[in-house]
């Protein structure tokens, strides 16, 4: 009985993590698409990388 409850909890937790990750990844890439107004340090570095790649 106890093992069934644990397996069920692990399954629900894994599903919740996968679902939240599926919604989070597009949001991370959305911020880097507009290099005119970077939102954070990651966006700054991404835009700098794109800028330097275009120069070479």
* Residue range 1-56, pLDDT digits in tens: 677 777 777 778 888 877 876 676 655 555 556 788 888 888 888 888 888 988 86
Res 35: pLDDT: 82
Number of domains in the chain: 1
Q: Specify the pLDDT at position 30.
A: 56
Output the pLDDT for position 6. 73
d(CA 48, CA 22): 27
Give dist(CA 24, CA 26) in Å, integer: 6
State the CB neighbour count (10 A cutoff) for residue 45: 12
C-alpha span between 48 and 43 (Å, rounded): 8
Burial of 31 (0-12, 13-18, 19+ CB in 10 A): middle
At 37 the pLDDT is: 83
For residue 39, what are the domain limits?
2-55
Nearest CA-CA partner of 51 in 40, 36, 41: 36
């Amino acid at each position: 009985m106890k093992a069934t409850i644990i397996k069920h909890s692990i399954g629900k937790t894994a599903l919740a993590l996968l679902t939240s990750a599926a919604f989070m990844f597009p949001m991370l890439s959305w911020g880097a698409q507009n290099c005119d107004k970077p939102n954070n340090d990651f966006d700054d570095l991404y835009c700098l990388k794109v800028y330097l790649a275009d120069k070479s």
